Structure 1
Amino acid sequence: MANERILVVDDQPTAVQTCAETLAEDENGSLAGSQDTAHEISERGQEEKLRQSQDDYRQLFECAPDAILLIDNETGQILQANSAACTLYGFNREEMLAQKNTDLSAEPEQTRRITSGTRLAADQVVVVPLRYHRKNDGPAFPVEISGRFFLHQGRSVHIAVIRDITARKQAEDDLRNALAELTAIDQNAPIGMLLIDRDLRLHKVNDFTARFVGRLAVDMIGLRVGEALRCVHNLDDPRGCGFGPACASCLARQTILDTFESRTSGQDVEAWLSFLRGGSCVERCLLISTAYLEIDATERVLVCAQDITKQKRAEEQLEAEKAWSEAIVSAAPNIVVGLGERSTILIFNEAAERSTGYAAKEVMGREWIDLFVPKEMQQELYGIWDEIVTNRLIEHHYENLIITKTGERRLISWHNSVLTEDGKFRLVLSIGEDVTERKQAEAALHESEERYRSLVEYAPNAIYVHFDDRVLLVNRACLQLFGARSEVELLDKSIYDLFHPDFHPAIRERIHLVRNLGEPVPPFEEKILRLDGGVVDVEVTATPYPFGGGNAIHVIMRDITERKRDEEALQQRAWQLALLNEIGSKV
């Protein structure tokens, strides 16, 4: 017998047809389903069988795995409850029969509307696909409710079969979330994804691919790959993609065909392809990976393509820069050495050959510390080496003696940097400057520095001494003129860092005169660069200063900013007077 089934959606009952059987009680207190049986038995006069049938239905009621409640429609009072209902809600039977259906509901108003607003119809099943109920200890949980509304002993009641759908709803939510995530990945992945059949026609593309091509995804479906992506070689043959002369050597096409044949994935295939963009041809390097799929017994290949053109161009540029860097290192005026594990020599430029007397082929692969460092210093240098390598020091400065091929000892000032590759130690790049003569000059200068300092320290004009174009001594007035807080900020600086570039040619010429001819030069107006970036006009006088077997240069500077300002003011005044005289002569 077909029964009408009511599906409740948004608290609105909707009739549908169903053949489902539902437990209920008749007006004599028997559970629904026993009505027809009782009628048949009464007709046959078999009361014993009727009682047996009632017991069977009672047992079925108690043993049902779902919660079953008989509820008064007017009050919502629970009249009967099976064991599964007590277990589900966490009440004993006495407590359960003291509850109303709104007490069990986490949505009592919706429950009250359904209870009081559903018409009586014993042949209809009302289904509430989702409602939230609450257990005795408080937590809410989702349930599905099937109910039948009828008269029982003269009162309007309904029997509700309640099923806990927590696990099912969680599974549905998980599936829905997974589908949403997959859709989001498909549409937002920063790589192109294409689903292709054996005829190399597109069945699905993601948004990234469509943006890459510059057309709608729907317009690409059904086209061969080359046509869809606007490959220039798609036009080489009237038959289109796959038939042109260049198609046979196309790595992308071959990778897809190989995946179909081998049914194995292709990984990280780099393919340079030509595409039409805005009427012109552009070259792109794609990193392609493929996966073989069977969808509904139909073969497909999933293609993931990433545009790595910028990366490849950068790699090419890096290779060019590497070759250029190697040439620069080779021709660099300073010593450049690259040292691997245990200071093994990997790089040895021409300046290193000149300074040490060794040819590169003589030292490559040997340990720098063992070959060049004096024996008494090797233990100390190995300790410093371990510190540099272990701590991955990017900047490290150190001075030490080396022994040349002829046995001469030279003092080298080193600038060391650790280079890594994939996070692992690669080498220490050391740039060295032979400072032997300079250090000797500094030592000689230091002998007379105290005597000279007392004379110049408190001089009103700025005074400094330089040797080999580097500052060796400064007085207080010089510090003030350059805006330096201490001598450290000026000592050992190149004098060309202190003067405006416009004056460098003249400075070189004056240094030549003083150093080589041993003659002072007359005062000369120049501009200096303060440490704070300011520019100051100065008058400079330079004289030779015997030092370490050569000539240092003694420089006196006077700030002429005020004088220059006064001169400019006088010139302006003279111009104004001349202008007034000219105007007066015309009046």
Structure 2
Amino acid sequence: MSPYVKNLYTFLIFGGGVVRKKIKVKRRFTYHKTPPNLFGSLFDSLPNSILVVDFYGRIIYANRTNELLTGYFTEEIIGHYPTIFSAEFNAENTDKEIRSKLARGESWHGELKQRRKDGTTFIAEFEVFPVTNNGTPVAWAIMQRDVTRRIAAEQAIKEQAHLHRILLDAIPNPVFFMNNDGFYEECNQALQTNIGLPKEKIVGKSVYDLHPRELAELYEQKDNQLFKEPGIQQYEGPCLYADGLLHHVIYNKATYVDTYGQIAGLVGVIVDITDRKLAEEALQAERHKLFALLEMLPLLIALIDGSCVIRFGNRFFKENFGVWEGRHCYNVFEGRSEPCTKCYALKTLHTGEHSKREWIINGMVYEIHNYPFGDTDGTPLVLVLGIDITKRSRMENDLRESEERYRQLVELSPDGIVIHCGSEIEYANNAGAKIIGATVPGDLYGKQVMDFVHSNSKKMVEQRMRKIAAGNTTIPFAEHKLIRLDGSDIDVEIAGVPLTLKGKPAVQIVIRDITERKEIEKNLSRLEAMNLVGEMAASIGHEIRNPMTSVRGFLQILQDKEECTRYQEYFSLMIDELDRANSIISEYLSLARNRPVAKKEQNLNAVLKRLVPLIEADASEKNMRIKLLYNVVPELELDDKEIRQLILNLVRNGMEAMSTGGELTIYTSLDSDEVVLAVRDQGQGIKKDALGKLGTPFYTTKSNGTGLGLAVCHSIAERHNAAINVQTSSAGTTFEVRFKVTVS
């Protein structure tokens, strides 16, 4: 409160007016001489009612505004208590609360219900505070103003907002409001339900907070476009719902303005059209399936509508009659410009009955079948199916020649081709027999085709076989696993084509061995992961090692101090852990593809022999045996340090896989144009699900492993143009590192 108001009593008492006549005050202080009517005019002109009461709670001053507000003249209320205006039920309690506050030298602020002289009531906002002179309270002042209309307006706004909220939540479609900065300001219950978040987790968030990044980028682009060109926007797009599925929706958005006519944000309504889309797609799929079926049939097929216009002609039809689009059947078949006198197609359309007849067209004899047919959109059509019986003999000869060409093509195909009838294998080419592991194709005849399908692929293969049987349609290549005759697994791609064999429906399967491709993909993925980890480690390695070296040095200094003798065990533990961390960083750095290597020509046996004492010491400590087999191998370009690390990693992995008393075999050999380094343990072998993950950075089956050992080995092998192969069984595991020999 400003000082001039707090000294209100001084001005009123000594400036003249009603109060000075009523109350006698001994003047113990000086004050500035002021014209008597100046302050009275000042406070009468204030918009708020002002009352001054003495310490007995009696009114000693009231300004003109109070008369206008309450209807009481000043002379009527002087000497009365302010409760004369109160319409509060518990006015006495409120009065006690105000007096208590003032007694402590504090102000009181609040809203009270007041009564005018004419009996009407209003809501007043109060400010009651002590009036002081030179720091000494001399009276109390009350300022009040009528806030009845404001409170009524606020209540009306609340009610209106509540009504708007009810209406908004009653809308079944998701609705949201977004400001110019891209943050949600409001949403209805439907939006909360659809995206699975409560309102408090939506309001104040952006599209990037609520949606996957690729969807958020689309929404942001559309919103920016709408803000740039204000108006109405509608587009179809995806929306991720709480069920975890992407729904097809229509976004209806429009900008809105504030009271100043400026764009304040946008409002959006989402309409889910997923069911409609699925129905449309299903209908379209059925139509494509239908016409694909008609297209592939080796018969003359046409669809004719009630106006005799050809709506469809398959490949065979086009080959015989040329372009048919938009032409009438009587013009295509007989070259007429007017409809036939007797039209069998229209008869079938009207009666709904099948008809059959022979018809000479362009000198050829056809057996024509007319069938009533309904298009997927419900349009009634006639399916005309024609068989050329004139060329039947020629077709049979052509068919025999075609079959011979096909047989030669199949036999020479690099892909495996297997034909089964009723799930029983009737034929296989040499490539197919080789893929499944048979010596000759005859070894497969009579066997059930599903016996060679891996359990992981059986469900999908059965579904694809049912699809061929049901729709007589080709199924594209898809990846599956097969079981070979020796029980091993093989990755393949399989496609299927329906056909007829010896008058029976059959399926031709094309099998493509993708083992090599899968291995290349796996190696590329692993190498990329290793290179990424290595590059990251190289960029931050020195930043970590430098402080670690300083810490290790100070620990060694403290370890030698006499007063730290009793902490020797702790110092040793900390130094060991720092050394372990440093070794892990070294492993990280070994993963970098572009790590510099110092290769020189040397013999792998020589490198191995230098490591034998260290290997045997490790084996002795674990009570294990080492068996070394050296064979003559040519010189290789090797980085001594990296090859030593490679050997030690493989050897220590082998030891950790065995129990006490086991034997670890290390040998070298020359296999064709490759030098082989092999490490064979007598452990329990590697589980099949873990075998495919070997060499992946951070993958480990050890409780205290880092998952970098084998990844480092693969990285070193790559830098030496080598590859690592694994053979495992319940009797143990063999890791082979195969180095390519460069021929001078």
TM-score by length of 1: 0.36
TM-score by length of 2: 0.29
More strand by share: 1
